[in-house]
Amino acid sequence: MPPAPEENEDSLTEPTPLRAVHFAEQALLGALFLEPSRTTEADLEAEHFDNATHARLFAAMRTVPLPDPEKHRENAGWLAAVYAKARPQAPGLPHTYPHTLVQACPQPAHAPAYAGMIRADHARRTLRTHAERLARTADDITLPHRVDATVAQADQLGNLLDQLSGQFAPHPGSLPRTPVPPVPAAQAGEEAVDDEQLLLAAATGSPQTVQTMRWLAPSDFTVPLYGALWGCVTGLVHRGGSVDPVTVLGEAQQAGLLTGTVTTRGVLGLLSDPHGLPDHWGEKIVRRALLHRAHTVADRIVVFTDDPANTPYQLITGCRRALAEFASLHTRWNRANLPAPTSPAAHSRSTPPAIRAGPAPAPAPAATVKQHRTGIAR
């Protein structure tokens, strides 16, 4: 269906430089006015057109009965009928515009090429729309199930890429030519910083739980220092070393983290006051990283689609690679939310198992959490 009159009511004579697809749409419509029989051959829908008036004209061509070829050569009755059909939906359409379109068509036989340009531009715009929707969903703090909604939007984007991949032929040089924009650092808000500090202390106090937390990566942290300290903790755990605040401090020293404002007392203070279980805080960190990654992936796709030098196949390839980064983190998120494995003996117990990943019954006083920041830089 073509857009409603109030939607995308664009002018046919824009003052700004027109994009190539505008002239492709004019050339195609001119070809169809000259040879109406090609209307049934055009593998397009009205929604593929960028210009709303062009979309309404194309929709009218699909509904007005095709003329007899001989009679069409002698009079412009079919042009008038198409114009009359489209006019109510396009009040600003000049009565001379069908003739303008005829003059804008260099070769009616090239109609398939014009249609291909229109289809390619529609794919570009659709990918951009889906990417923007993904970013908005990831940022919408009012959504009750924001992660699920974000994953659903990413799935829709993936389905669109699957559909488009069968419409455009592959070719050499499949990657977008557009330089990949740098990934912006996640905003280290107060809640995020507190979660990361509490994780490090809890992990140092419960290293046995860290053994099952391979789904959490240093890159998930909003504060790079805390991500590096998490690497120190996991390095000790996976090597079977002794884990306590002092041994982690030693790892931090060997990793070159004790520089400038990062003091030994600051690190020890950070690691010495555990509250809750590590996987509880870890899940919150991965959740935050997943939403941030969704936004950065969407931003990258928007940059790709804004570059007209990229072919549809290059867009598909670049978008798939970007979306694969989100899928990788989503896989880790799923692992973080899997139920903890239980032994056969545990099933025979009459008492229910302890809740996994929950904070300790007695929450840390607010003053205690703030004390973690003393003597250590973010």
Distance (Å, whole) CA 348 – CA 227: 39
What average pLDDT score do residues 242-255 get?
Answer: 96
Instruction: Write out the two tokens for 351.
Output: 């008492």
Quick one: 218 and 297 in the same domain? no
Select the highest-mean-pLDDT range: 87-101, 190-204, 326-340, 360-374.
Answer: 190-204
Note whether 180 and 197 are same-domain residues: no
Q: How far is it, in rounded angstroms, from Cα 218 to Cα 224? A: 8
269 with 362, same domain?
yes
**191, 369 in Cβ contact below 8 A?**
no
Which residue segment(s) compose the domain that 237 sits in? 190-287+356-371
294: pLDDT strictly greater than 70? yes
Rounded Cα–Cα distance for residues 164 and 305 (Å): 14
Same domain as 360, residue 249: yes
Please give the residue that has the higher pLDDT: either 274 or 346: 274
Whether residue 244 sits in one domain with residue 157: no
CA gap 174, 313 in Å, rounded: 6
pLDDT of residue 76: 87
What does 114-143 look like in DSSP terms, one character per residue? Answer: HHHHHHHHHHHHHHHHHHHHHHHHHH-TT-
AA identity, residue 127: L
The C-alpha atoms of residue 334 and residue 272 are separated, in whole angstroms, by 30
Question: Which amino acid appears at position 221 of this protein?
Answer: F
Specify the CATH number for the domain of residue 212: 1.10.860.10
Distance CA 190, CA 279 (A): 19
Number of domains within the chain: 3
Look at residue 146 and give its three-state secondary structure.
helix
Same domain flag for 302 and 171: yes
In tens, the pLDDT along 186-225 reads 878 999 999 999 999 999 999 999 999 999 999 999 999 9
Average pLDDT, the chain: 86
- Exposure of 376 in the CB half-sphere (CA atoms within 13 A): 24
**Cα-based angle 169, 172, 174 (whole degrees, multiple of 5):** 75
Return the higher-pLDDT residue of 357 and 18. Answer: 18
Give me the DSSP letters along 209-227: HHTT-TT--GGG-SSHHHH
- Six-digit token pair at 70? 């001989």
Residue with tokens 């994953």: 151
Are residues 126 and 87 part of one domain? no
CB atoms within 10 A of CB 271: 27
Residues 283 and 237 in one domain: yes
Residue 331: which of 214, 184, 235 has the closest Cα? 214
